[in-house]
Structure 1
Amino acid sequence: MNLPTALIAEDEALLAENLRQELARLWPELQIVAQAAHGQAAVDAALAHRPQVCFLDIRMPGMSGLEAAAAMAEDWPEGTPFPKLVFVTAYDQYALQAFEHAAVDYVLKPVQPERLAQTVDRLKASLAPQPDALQAAVQQLRGLLGNGGPVAAAAAAPAAPLRLLQVAVGNQILMVPVEQVLYFEAADKYVRVVVEGETREHLVRVSLRELLPQLDQQRFWQIHRSLVVRSDAIERAVRDEAGKLTLHLRGSKDRLGVSRMYAHLFKGL
């Protein structure tokens, strides 16, 4: 008999251990296949172990629990059951309303045994593989991230979007108009800035997460957790036999892949 499996992502070791112990008491058959102390570790462990349930702390170093869940959904292999998501959060009225609206399960921390028991009962009743589980999770996460849920992927858009990028090149600082940027690509602690013209590019010392709120959200579209493209530079979106979208840009040979989290942006009229 295959035993149910779970991952716990929590950066506070005592809280992670408390959750593990409570789960062992309430659901002895559940196997904790991995524990992670930050968002990227949670993504890596989930993709490696493919647990049936993920308990994700909302506030973790680097990626939040929501961002980690979105990253899992982007890279999850087709045809493999997507895990049930349970978010662990400190009390926040707006966060709880967002979770309830999206029909995503959550528990408050410190974890209350009675509330966790309800979650365990729901999980036990819903662990049978569901063919549309991945798409359902993607839609839930889009709503939570896109509507400024418990922890929005980006801060609210500024009153005046960024117009010039100041790029350090040697002993110079170049002023690069944002309207000339084809796309931004995350590169560790930097962002690669690809500018229209003869394949010009720059590196700026800022994360994509920090840069995104400064951009005009109507003009610059996030199409992957590591890519933001200028919408009016897109010539066409091509869908392959597997349904994956690739963008062709005007005046560039670069091809940009669209993750399933953002595929809904491209719909023919």
Structure 2
Amino acid sequence: MNRRRPTALIADDEPLLRDELAALLADAWPELEVVAHARNGREAVERHAELRPDICFLDVQMPGVSGIEAARQIGPGAHLVFVTAFDQYALSAFDHGVLDYLVKPVEPRRLAQTVARLRERVQGTLPALATEALLAQLADDLKRRDADAVPPLRWIRATVGHALRLIPVEDVDFISADDKYTVIAWRDDDGKAAEALIATPLKQLLPQLDPLQFAQVHRSHVVNWSAVSHVTRAPNETAQVHIKGRKDVLPVSRSYLHLFKQM
């Protein structure tokens, strides 16, 4: 007797990320059938009620109903996996042993670990785990984080020559880690390419940048979307970002290739 194929739903407000996760799952778990995609938490709840997939991959932050709120409504009706850019939520849920998590950008090795656990739960007919108290706490944590969120950085202080400059963030083309310093590549008052060094590490600067304006493309590089001229393919499934009016070419690591799938 053939066993029914396990089924899954993927909920994320970014279509490229939904497609990327579906492709990764196809490689990591060929038997798994992704039966639905959802653009937000409300759609995820509706599609789950309609199709009853075994597993729901839920992005934590989605417009309207968040992934956490959707998980509360789905409850024990499916095995839940959070997909998040925020480690603190993922780790909190995982530490309680209630649900699994994936951190963006999703890495194949980490996904393989998640798939191994999900296989045991689905094939072993273990009940889907859900604790309303924990999900409610995670929802409160997310609301508190949003309420406490600091507005994106507007100016970067940097020493240029013998003067202290306040560089408008919108004038920055890209930011790169360079040994003990961080390079700020920007446009001066005349629109000419300029560079400055600051002591603030890239890792510390990144959370202060507007995620709609800047994107990390490599562990050492962050680029302003408006400064991108074009992107070219490179060996070993990587790419290169070319900057408008500059000779600089930034490498794109495989973990961030999904950002450029429509380019």
Output the TM-score relative to the length of structure 1: 0.49
